[in-house]
Amino acid sequence: MKKLLLLTLAGAISYVSHAQFSEFEGNAGSTFTLSSDNNTLQIGGRTSFFYQYRVMKSYQGESTNEPKLDKDGFQIKDMDLDLLGKTSSKFVYEFHISLVDLATAAATNNTANPANPGIKAGYLMYVGWPVHIKFGYDKLPFSLGSISDVYATPQWSHSNLASGDLFSRRDIGLTLNYETWKSRINAFAGIYSGMGENFYEYGQDNSGSFEYVGRVEFRYPGKMTYHNVDEENSPVPQLRVGINGRYENKTQPTGQPTVLQSYPDEVGPYGIRMIDGKRSIYGGDLTVKYKGLSATFEDEIINMQPVDANDPLFNATPSSFNKGIIMAGGYVAQVMYNSEKIHSTFSVSYEDINVNDLIVGDQQWLNLSYAYKVNSFNSVFKIEYYLPEKEDVNSNPLKYTAQLRVGYQVVF
């Protein structure tokens, strides 16, 4: 008991240090810090909730017992616990879980939600060499929208492009990271299971092959975080240009069930998160921050080559027409303005997504958001208006014409 009391007292005293490890892009805020001669452990997290209201369409099911699916009401967005550690022997580790998402997964018998996974990080990283080596489960170094911390924006969720429906956001594997030229060049390379957030459900797939991911950034004048709001009111323009790509060949062995049959949760709502064949994704992004104004742009292109000419992704088109290839992807553009004088951040974003070029239709979305910051994004009121400008009636039919979310977030 005495040891427990001393440990608690030491943590309370160190709470005022507000320490952050430079290796992390994790929670900002007043983390609870425990220190010894050889180790430092930070305990942080966040909690948030919102009220959601949807403007529903009139549809045939209204005259029957079919549920309306409006999903109006209060929802918990975050209930996270994040442990960040560093040892004197140059090892860094993180364990980040979402309690509410673990509870939801257990209640619904669904082991992973790509947009809100129960386990968000669990890795060990060695930073004693110029090339940092990370092994374990974490965000993939791919897609600006996926890497960036949405909690540090006025929005409640990632863009549709980077939400996890088109490609996985997290996976288990090995990541190498190297910075040079005064941190202006930042490069990543990694090899992963290719099963994304569903690795915990399925393990390695029957193909036994991996997914390969790479990303290179140029940053000026130097190191930049993935917090895209310019809370620092940058006195000189900050610029980041990134290019990234990923490749996998998940062709299943002869005589084995298809990807869809074996891993129904992994293929995603559009059937393209994992395919029975080769898939490559490539794209780039741009970030500019200056005097409270920030702008980001991201574009990603997905190239898929299923091994079966009768794969449903071909939409019954002849091989002479489709050439054995399906294309998908889209872009997201966002502008934000931050004013510390009025404790506010304003955001406008627009995105266009096509999930299959052999099926007529695409999706276009407009997002208008506002945040009133009581204490930066550590204690903040958010309001988000989400408007589908164009509906893809073949791939993503909607039952609503607008969505409003209003709520509060605390990061500790």
Other Cβ atoms closer than 10 A to 285: 23
- CA 201 to CA 55: how far, in whole Å? 35
Concatenated DSSP letters for 41-81? EEEEEEEEEEEEEEEEPP-GGGGTT-------EEEEEEEEE
Say whether 150 sits in a helix, a strand or coil. helix
47-89 pLDDT, tens digit each: 999 999 999 987 655 555 556 666 799 999 999 999 999 999 9
DSSP state, 181?
T
CB 354 within 8 A of CB 395: no
Confidence band of 19 (pLDDT split at 50, 70, 90):
very low
Segment of 11-20, 113-122, 315-324 carrying the highest mean pLDDT: 315-324
Instruction: Indicate the length of the chain as a whole number.
Output: 412
Helix, strand, coil shares of the chain, percent, nearest 5, are: 15, 45, 40
Please give the domain boundaries of the chain with CATH numbers for all domains: 2-411 (2.40.160.10)
Model pTM score = 0.90
pLDDT at 299 over 60: yes
Q: In 3D, which of 370, 42, 28 has the Cα closest to residue 232?
A: 28
Q: Phi first, then psi: what are they for 53, rounded to 5°? A: -130, 130
Asked, as a colleague might, if the bond just before 235 is cis with ω within 30 of 0, I would say no
CB 145 within 8 A of CB 298: yes
Q: In 3D, which of 49, 124, 55 has the Cα closest to residue 79?
A: 49
- CA 50 to CA 381: how far, in whole Å? 10
